[in-house]
A and B are shown apart, each in its own frame.
Chain A
Amino acid sequence: MTTHSDGYSAPAKLGHWLIALLLIASYSIAWTMVDLRMSPTRLRLFNYHKWVGVTIFALAVLRLLWRLLQRPPPLPAAMPPWERQAAAIVHRLLYLLLFALPLSGWLMSSAKGFQTVYFGRWPIPDAIGKNAALGAALTSVHVALTWLLLALVATHVLAALKHQFVDRDAVLRRMLPRLPRRHSSEPS
């Protein structure tokens, strides 16, 4: 096996794309469920949304540990300092929100009196008791954070596309799945 020093490690890629898919699922479920009247379907979607959130949180923990153990590949030498700083800030905020969003959802659920029970089987303890006013406040926090994360993800995606199509460097390719090698040499 060739080592690809210019790409992210396989676990880092897996974590990145799993979270990307789970975020799409989480947002889709959330935007559907909030418009439903109280019904079994609404309850079901809320639970699915919460299970996805717990999963994202767990993956984010693993990703952060991996990131601290395994340094990411270096950025292209041609990148100006402001872009490097901007990338570092956005990446940190993305990590922060991958923790903050599930945490705020968990707290708002507790305050609203609906405990989070992972897959309907494993109860996650409530950190705070039932409190309607606090529940409403935490809901606002959770919703505000969803828009902030969405804005950050949009920035992240646009930046990756800029690297790919404007700068024409290898930044996006570092995070893409490595294609199966052809019989001869692969382009580098």
Chain B
Amino acid sequence: MSIFRLAAAHWRVNALNELQYRVNLVVQLFQSLIALATGLIGLSLVFRQTDDLAGWSRPELLAVMGVHLLMGGIIQAVVQPNMQRLMGDVQNGLFDYSLVKPVDAQALSSVRELRIWQVVDVLVGAAVLAVAVVQLDARVGVGQALWFVVALVLGALSIYSFWLILTTGVFWIIRIENIVELFQGVYQAGRWPVGIYPPWLRGGLTFLVPVAFAVTVPSEAMTGRLTPQTMALAFGVAVGLMAVARGVWRLGVRRYGGASA
């Protein structure tokens, strides 16, 4: 598939370049550890007062935190930098160059950037998740791990599609530049299972901003809570959001070219 070749070419170049700046690794490591420490302190404060939070035990919530860090790393490494570059390109008129290339412009715009040091977050998240799994007493089988990976991929695709819709739709129509901060604020909600939020907020975190599918559902897969229905829903939402994102993209490009629908 050509998108993988495109991604491989761009990521290789980006990674090789960033690898020259080792200092950034130290900075990233430091920030990841601070985020980890803050998260752990928050978790321990909660469990000073209670033994379970809305049915989630301590190791289970640790797993949620691990997935949250891991997914956050993926978003910051790939999704967000590409969308930010796309916004910049549209503003500077550089998007023209993406359109005259003989490849799908959406694919190209989605794979050009990679922040390799953000992988530290992914690794820290994976480590936290591993610790949580050990504490869960071998309740995790190969099947669960497999479903976890599937759920994680679906979650990442949902978040990507959401970001793309935001970038194309919102940015081209009303030009909001603070959506990065807005998204990061909302993404913090994923640190806890969405089940604890009041229904209106849970709905928003599930269907409006797909944090539930990015973090909670993979965590459910890892902690053996995943029902086939939830998995089917995650699949449906991922596919649906990707289709909507594609549609909004097409519309945005048509608008850009002045071919009013």
- Say whether A associates with B: no
List the interface of chain B (C-beta within 8 A of A).
none
